Amino acid sequence: MRRLAAGYALVGMVLTVGCSDEPERPECINLPERCDSPYPPDPPVTFEILFTAILKPTCGSTGNCHGKPQGGLVFTNIDESFDLLLGNVGGKARVTPGNAECSELVVRTSDVGKDWSMPPGTPLDPPNQCAIRQWVEAGALRQ
């Protein structure tokens, strides 16, 4: 009987390890050397611009995924959104200032067509993907 119970426990552990709430995605991706942003590199793109032009209308408006908290992110309040992305609250940084290739926000919005790509369905257009990348590479400035 103990062997049977141990066998079930082992099977349960194997099944649990193989399952995850989040689809597997790379920690980093290779980005092209250049991209075409709708914003000039100087002065750097700020979070104010990204939030107003991309994140809130595309991801945080009513009916979109992050119009309510989802995956620990909500894009309805600029201050809360910034703090959540940088890990200032919630403890999970999704942006590493200066490192676009390894920032979850860039990985999810740039590597399109995957189960974990954001936004689901229709991806951001390349200029908006580039603007997010540009913001992260410039240090993820708030203003």
Task: Tell me the pLDDT tens digit for each residue of 56-79.
Answer: 998 888 778 888 888 889 899 999
Beta carbons of 75 and 81 less than 8 angstroms apart: yes
Half-sphere exposure of 109 (CA within 13 A, CB side): 23
Q: Is the pTM of this model over 0.85?
A: no
Q: Dig out the tokens for 117 from the structure.
A: 């790509």
For the chain, domain boundaries: 29-137
For residues 97, 103, 108, 113, the Cα torsion angle rounded to the nearest 10 degrees is 120
Task: Tell me the pLDDT tens digit for each residue of 100-132.
Answer: 999 999 999 998 888 888 988 889 999 999 999
- The alpha carbon of 109 is separated from its chain's Cα centroid by a whole number of angstroms, namely 7
> CA-to-CA distance for 139 and 46, rounded, in angstroms?
9
